Structure 1
Amino acid sequence: MAAEAEQVVLPSGKTASLATTHTLTAANDPTVKSVPVAEKKAIVFFIGGAADQEKYYFQGAFHNIDDARNILDKRISAMKPLSKKYTSWPKSYNDARGSGDIQTNFIANIPSKSCPVYIVGHSLGGWNGAHLSRILSEAGYTVKFLVTLDPVGEGFWVWMGSDIYKSEASPIAETWINIRANSSKPDASDGVAEFGGRWIITDGPTMNKTMDIHHASAGWMFIEPVQGTKSACDLIFDSINGIFGQ
């Protein structure tokens, strides 16, 4: 029940009513209020390069990064309790540049800062994904793994025609795995990568491997060994299972 308005006498002799205030919750209300808590789960972003998730100058979309995503998704889904603690998202390289796009495409898909984040980027997606790792880390998120699969972005013409960062990244991640594709029998995708300017990384990654493989083969790069017999896919799976496994 609303309280009656208090009457006051103005200097003119007239009376006026003070506005009443409404109490949303009574002080003596014993009801326990529940506050929703964001669920902690592993969030994995798979970021494709040019012509991967969408057309690029009349080419594609080829969905090369989806091959890597499908491998991890299938492995996680085989373990029902673990699958409830895991979400993966396919993204385009241009989703990872610009504060508005990063908010919409990445931060909005991370339930809370307690969620471990994993970034797997291929080609231009590796270039922009490396920048994203620093942006998310500096915003208070924990990037457990950054995997750059034959990252590309050094070429002048790619800078001119693509929505990418204009300088090399200084990634922040607990583990950074970089894989360079260097096929002994180059195909068209390797020519595209050379034109785009492969990012030749010499310092920084926790693991830095060169493989005799084609640039387009994101799925194969993801499952080839990088540490003993373990692939990048294995190491990400082990990390997620170590956090959420029973």
Structure 2
Amino acid sequence: MTLVATRKLTPSSDTSIKHVPVKLPKAIVLFIGGAGDKRPFILGEYPQNPMGANQNILDVVHYFMKRYGGKIKEGEVLADPERTYFGYYEIYGDDRIRTNILPLIKTKSQKIIIIGHSLGGWNGIWLSKKLSDWGYSVELLITLDPVGTGLIVKTFADIYKEKPIGDANVWINLTYGKDDDASDAVALAGGRFNPKGRRVPLPNDPDVNEVININHLKTWDAMSYRLSIGKTAWDFLDFSLQ
């Protein structure tokens, strides 16, 4: 007997809705830039006074794309410079979070990873708290030299005025210790923030809260810095993305 395989077609009379399974990423990685990162930072209405270097966090984004390219290609991780790279101002306030962030998250079981630099670290801490309060799973929060205590940035920048409170399964905070170039002067003016005691439940600390010998504009260098525990921030990412 010869068996002939035939394709079974849905009759034209069948108008029922067909559900096609869609593979969702297990993790969504949000990269949050600081002042002058995604757009120039302007003091008030004076465009001749931009502050900060451009696209510092993209050094981390581009390396991330190479390091985890396989997971991204397989759809296990959502991360790219077009869809998950934000300026600090784009995650300021509930409305902007709902508009810019929530559409990326399809289920509350997906892991959320936040990597924020400078003002992006400050607002990123608040983002972790808000998402956690709304029932989302913030697996890892990495803050690179968070800034936001200074009067100038509180006056002119779209940042939360209160000191942030973080809420994540793992929180790595790296405060930069150098103050010998222009970017460090910007960080000092903006007010570097040490989140000691600012983790849910208060007054807990980040899992790692170290000062490292890095200039403020450096992001990839900070992520690759060997900490006192013998690990780098990339090592924590490796574990979170398993």
Query: Which range, TM-score by smaller chain?
Result: 0.7 to 0.9
> Which of 179, 198, 201 pairs up with 2:195?
201
* Distance (Å, rounded) in 1 between the aligned partners of 2:155 and 2:174: 25
* Distance (Å, rounded) in 2 between the aligned partners of 1:186 and 1:94: 27
How many residues are aligned here?
A: 211
Could you say if the C-alpha distance between residues 167 and 32 of structure 1 is closer, same or farther in structure 2, counting changes exceeding 3 Å? Answer: closer
Q: Which runs of 5+ in 1 are unaligned?
A: 1-28
Q: Which runs of 5+ in 2 are unaligned?
A: 1-13, 198-204
Amino acid at match of 2:63: I
- TM-score w.r.t. the length of structure 2 is 0.80
Shift of 1:227: 5.9
Matched, 1:113 2:114: no
Shift of 1:111: 2.3
> Which of 151, 157, 166 pairs up with 2:161?
166
- TM-score w.r.t. the length of structure 1 is 0.79
Secondary structure of the structure 2 residue equivalent to 1:226: coil
Correspondence for 1:56: 41
Could you say if the C-alpha distance between residues 191 and 86 of structure 1 is closer, same or farther in structure 2, counting changes exceeding 3 Å? Answer: same
* Distance (Å, rounded) in 2 between the aligned partners of 1:201 and 1:169: 8
Amino acid at match of 1:179: L
Q: CA RMSD in A?
A: 2.1
Correspondence for 1:14: none
* Distance (Å, rounded) in 1 between the aligned partners of 2:147 and 2:58: 18
Q: 1:149-205, CA deviations, whole angstroms, 9 ceiling, x for partnerless residues?
A: 00000011110000000011111100000000011x510000000000110233310
Percent identity (aligned): 39
- Contact 1:146–1:173 (8 Å) recurs in 2: yes
Shift of 1:223: 1.3
Correspondence for 2:145: 150
Could you say if the C-alpha distance between residues 108 and 32 of structure 1 is closer, same or farther in structure 2, counting changes exceeding 3 Å? Answer: closer
Shift of 1:37: 5.5
Shift of 1:229: 3.1
- Contact 1:181–1:211 (8 Å) recurs in 2: yes
Shift of 1:234: 2.0
- Contact 2:25–2:78 (8 Å) recurs in 1: no
Please say which structure displays the higher CA radius of gyration: 1
- Contact 2:33–2:88 (8 Å) recurs in 1: yes
Shift of 1:33: 4.3
Amino acid at match of 2:153: V
Could you say if the C-alpha distance between residues 40 and 114 of structure 1 is closer, same or farther in structure 2, counting changes exceeding 3 Å? Answer: farther
1:88-99 alignment runs, 5 A limit? 88=79, 89-99=84-94
